[in-house]
Structure 1
Amino acid sequence: MLVGKQYIRGGLALIIGLAGVLMVLWAWQLPPFKHSVETTDNAYVRGQVTVISPQVAGYVTKVNVNDYQSVKRGDLLFEIDSRSYQQKLDQALAALNSKKAALANSEQSQRSAEATIQSRQAQISGAKAALEVAEANAKRVEALLPRGVTTQSSADTAH
């Protein structure tokens, strides 16, 4: 019988110890007694607050997270209205195309001016050649006039 009383005392001690452990777990709100919703009696809840700030300004069109949802770095939290940025992009592209057209126009004007310069240089060369021919003809007529081989009218025309 002594052995039976020892088993009863051991079992009773085990039950009391287990009840004590369960009471500590319940008092400290440890698993399996932990609640998923934080509550408080003094209106203070301890939590982590993270400040977020956008890299660009704009109107938020869509929120991709819910309250109390865990997020990681790189998660898309919000979508910003892209119309103002698209408008600025379109304006920049239009300005770029305008500048490209102005550049092409300037290049064409430069080529036209270079062609005009070459044409004028050719005209100058032609005029110099005509001057040399006229001077040579004038010298020839001057040499022939005293001999009576040419007329005074030809000599006047040569000068």
Structure 2
Amino acid sequence: MFQKFSHTKFPPEVKPILVWDGECGFCKYWVTRWKRISENKIHFKTYQEVALQFPDIPIKEFKKASRLITPEGTVHSGPDSAYMSYYIANPKSPCHYWYVTYTWFTKLSDHGYNFIAKHRRIFFKITKVMLGSNPLSFTYYWVLYCFGIILLFFLLLKFL
């Protein structure tokens, strides 16, 4: 499980920075999408580029989970880095509020994030199969898959 850090002594000066694993295809896919959604309100940097700027956060922890670091020095880890990124882009997004308010949501998010992080390659493949290869223009293949499964089910029922 990734370790959470509440604060860093070395915050970015201008705007929040989302630190992610530049060697992870799954991470790159979603960061590409988040860059567009955030409308330049967040810097996106790989831990390979900036980890040394945050010496109070071990590199092994950057490898385990993304971190959103604010100019105030607050560190949001794992799923909350994504939730807070969405909140910065769209203050109506409720996920960060749920994460800090509801214990069940925090635990579910942390365990889900940890599971996905440990199986990034397979989840990257699933993501591309379900949403397409272009993170800037989703193709909702999952709708076609569901329709095909339902159609197959009804055809089987009709002929059995």
Q: What TM bracket, shorter-length normalisation?
A: under 0.3
Q: What TM-score, normalized to structure 1?
A: 0.20
Which structure is richer in relative contact order (CA contacts within 8 A, separation 6 or more)? 2
Higher strand share goes to which structure?
2
Greater CA radius of gyration, 1 or 2? 1
Q: What TM-score, normalized to structure 2?
A: 0.20
